[in-house]
A = this chain, B = another copy of it.
Amino acid sequence: MTTLIFLALLLNSPLHAEEAESWLPSLQTQTPEEGFQLALTLARKGVTETQGDPEVLHGERPKYSQDAESLIAASQVVATHFQTIAAANDYWRD
């Protein structure tokens, strides 16, 4: 029992990057709108993976989310990811 509890704690420990459920199981979405949401997710993930510390991230958010240049740069990242996801879904053509 102790071993099981130990394993459970180990697997759920924040030291393990590998979560039980993937944050990105598939690039397939039902609609273009969901595809755009996924592009936003991927864009944000690129930022959080580069800067792991949530405090720094939250400290920076007011800055880039209020700066015109940063907003446009963020929109560019979304555009690139959306391009990938759209191709992955064959442009949601019927």
A positions within 8 Å CB-CB of B: 17, 22-28, 31-33, 36-37, 40, 42-43, 45-47, 49-51, 56, 59-61, 63-84, 86-88, 91-93
Q: Which residues of the partner chain B approach A59 to less than 8 Å between Cβ atoms?
A: 66
B84 touches A83 (CB 8 A): yes
B74 touches A73 (CB 8 A): no
Q: Which residues of the partner chain B approach A72 to less than 8 Å between Cβ atoms?
A: 47, 64, 70, 73-74, 77
Do most interface residues of chain A lie in helix, strand or loop, or is the interface mixed?
A: helix
B49 touches A40 (CB 8 A): yes
B92 touches A43 (CB 8 A): no
Which of A36, A43, A77 has most B Cβ within 10 Å? A77
